[in-house]
Amino acid sequence: MALISGASTGLQLPPLSLYIHVPWCVRKCPYCDFNSHAQRGEIPQADYLQALLDDLDAELNWVQGRTLQSIFIGGGTPSLMEATFYQQLLEQIEQRIPFADGIEITLEANPGTFEQARFAGYREAGINRLSLGIQSFDDGCLQALGRIHSGAEAEQAVAQAQAIGFERLNLDLMHGLPGQTPTMALADLERAIGLGTTHLSWYQLTIEPNTEFHSRPPRLPEDEALWAIQEQGQARLSEAGFEQYEISGYCKVGQQCRHNLNYWRFGDYLGIGAGAHAKLSDPLTERGGQIGRLVRRWKARQPKAYLAGLNRAEQRVIEADELALEFMMNALRLSDGVEAQLFEQRTGLPLATIEPQLTRARSLGLLEQDPALLRPTLQGRRFLNELLELFV
């Protein structure tokens, strides 16, 4: 990483990733607050491919000589697109931005039979990591969540992906579901563990604004049951060799999602596609006597507007008084935290800027005492919101 000449506090160019958003899905799930749109007729794959490439071309000045460390294709339901779509897309991306050796390329996929038929083509296109949106193996829970696959199809999808050669495989599971007991939640984990996956995203269902569940809330488990699920589930995952490396990420040794790690370590990422967001360093822009700034950029959410090139990119500068909270909201998700010097490298601000907050967090037992680390204690992980409030 190149140190920016003249920067008073050592802002450095961090690693670069790419997020690609595919906005279509078969049906909007009642809990989903992501930018997803129920499919109406044929998806305009060729037009969307060209729109993505035009979008990327307009963003290339942010690359600044870096290679891509990871690519994450999310949605929506990216597995609605044909394998040839991704083959062409990835080939064109690599022509514009060099891929780092061993680049991680993740695709989110539904475990339905229709999508399983495309797994081999995705592997051939260069995708080397799948994230399967299983949510639960219990058919009753799946129905309550509005999912269109069954528990048996989910197990079949995992077996199919493994047989094709996807050694890196994430299963997305939720707990605290309508009608779910601790026994049912732990049964989901047992089935996932038994399938031999190396990474699990395991997190509690939350009711988000602008969702069907928000307007018609389902009956969820009581707090006592939720706490039992969390404690017993984490103990079982640890026993099975899964390390909790961030709030909802559990993996076998060395199987962390590298793309997500770049988020949590406040790295840079380009975002292309309808509704895609980006966080980028602009270290060559002089602003207020200080060289360097960080910006967030985003694209038009509606697929029609995006395809028409309307409102293609908006952005705002992350102001200096926001940077500490922005950095900590990411870094403190990690169980191991980050090295303290990363704060200066990624924000351009001296660590002394937040020394009073760090001192307070350590005195409250929310942050480890080691001054070389920004690492939450177990108490800090349990009360993360209270820890983050110190940096507001």
pLDDT tens readout for residues 49-74:
999 999 999 999 999 999 999 999 99
* Residue 33 pLDDT class (50, 70, 90 cuts): confident
Domain annotation covers residue 303:
no
Same domain, yes or no: 357 and 208:
no
Supply the pLDDT for residue 284: 66
Domain annotation covers residue 2:
no
Domain count, the chain: 2
Supply the pLDDT for residue 309: 85
Supply the pLDDT for residue 294: 93
Burial tier of 313 (Cβ tally within 10 Å: 0-12, 13-18, 19+):
middle
Same domain, yes or no: 367 and 246:
no
Percent of the chain exceeding pLDDT 90 equals 85
Q: What is the CATH number of the domain that holds 158?
A: 3.20.20.70
Supply the pLDDT for residue 2: 32
Name the residue with tokens 């006592």: 224
Q: What range defines the domain where residue 356 resides?
A: 324-392
pLDDT in tens, 188-243: 999 999 999 999 999 999 999 989 999 999 999 999 999 999 999 999 999 999 99
Amino acid at residue number 293: R
Q: Which residues contact 349 (CB under 8 A, 6 or more apart)?
A: 9, 320, 323, 324, 343
Lowest mean pLDDT, pick from 13-17, 35-39, 66-70, 335-339: 35-39
Q: How far apart are CA 63 and CA 66, in angstroms?
A: 6
Is residue 59 a contact partner of residue 270, using CB atoms and an 8 Å limit? Answer: yes
Final residue before a domain boundary, out of 243, 261, 279: 261
Cα angle 24-59-319, degrees, rounded to a multiple of 5: 100
Is residue 268 a contact partner of residue 334, using CB atoms and an 8 Å limit? Answer: no
* Residue 8 pLDDT class (50, 70, 90 cuts): very low
Is residue 311 scored above 70 in pLDDT?
no
Q: Which residues contact 34 (CB under 8 A, 6 or more apart)?
A: 74, 75, 76
Q: How far apart are CA 266 and CA 325, in angstroms?
A: 11
Q: Give the pair of three-digit tokens for residue 11.
A: 């802002």
Supply the pLDDT for residue 297: 96
Is residue 28 scored above 90 in pLDDT?
no
Same domain, yes or no: 90 and 214:
yes
pLDDT in tens, 150-169: 999 999 999 999 999 999 99
Domain annotation covers residue 360:
yes
- CA atoms lying within 13 Å on the CB side of residue 156: 13
Final residue before a domain boundary, out of 215, 230, 261: 261
Same domain, yes or no: 53 and 193:
yes
Domain annotation covers residue 392:
yes
Same domain, yes or no: 226 and 337:
no
Same domain, yes or no: 335 and 229:
no
Supply the pLDDT for residue 9: 46
CA distances to 155, 277, 302, 325 from 274, in Å: 31, 9, 6, 27
Lowest mean pLDDT, pick from 117-126, 166-175, 303-312, 350-359: 303-312
Is residue 10 scored above 80 in pLDDT?
no
Q: What is the mean pLDDT of residues 326-335?
A: 97
Is residue 190 a contact partner of residue 171, using CB atoms and an 8 Å limit? Answer: no
Same domain, yes or no: 240 and 118:
yes
Q: How far apart are CA 350 and CA 161, in angstroms?
A: 46
Amino acid at residue number 332: L
Tell which residue, 108, 99, 148, has the closest CA to residue 260: 108
Same domain, yes or no: 168 and 91:
yes
Supply the pLDDT for residue 3: 32
Q: Give the pair of three-digit tokens for residue 203.
A: 């997190």
Specify the higher pLDDT residue, 115 or 235: 235
Final residue before a domain boundary, out of 232, 261, 290: 261
Lowest mean pLDDT, pick from 26-40, 124-138, 280-294, 317-331: 280-294
Q: What is the CATH number of the domain that holds 355?
A: 1.10.10
Same domain, yes or no: 68 and 143:
yes
pLDDT in tens, 130-153: 999 999 999 999 999 999 999 999
Supply the pLDDT for residue 289: 47
- CA atoms lying within 13 Å on the CB side of residue 48: 21
pLDDT in tens, 248-294: 999 999 999 999 999 999 999 999 999 999 999 987 655 544 557 89
Return mean pLDDT, the chain: 92
Q: How far apart are CA 232 and CA 182, in angstroms?
A: 8
- Maximum pairwise Cα distance, the chain: 61
Supply the pLDDT for residue 7: 38
Same domain, yes or no: 47 and 182:
yes
Q: Give the pair of three-digit tokens for residue 50.
A: 């060209």
Supply the pLDDT for residue 364: 97
Is residue 280 a contact partner of residue 306, using CB atoms and an 8 Å limit? Answer: no
Strands 249-251 and 243-246, sheet pairing: antiparallel
Phi first, then psi, for residue 199 (nearest 5°) are -150, 135
Domain annotation covers residue 221:
yes
* Residue 358 pLDDT class (50, 70, 90 cuts): very high
Same domain, yes or no: 350 and 233:
no
Is residue 78 scored above 60 in pLDDT?
yes
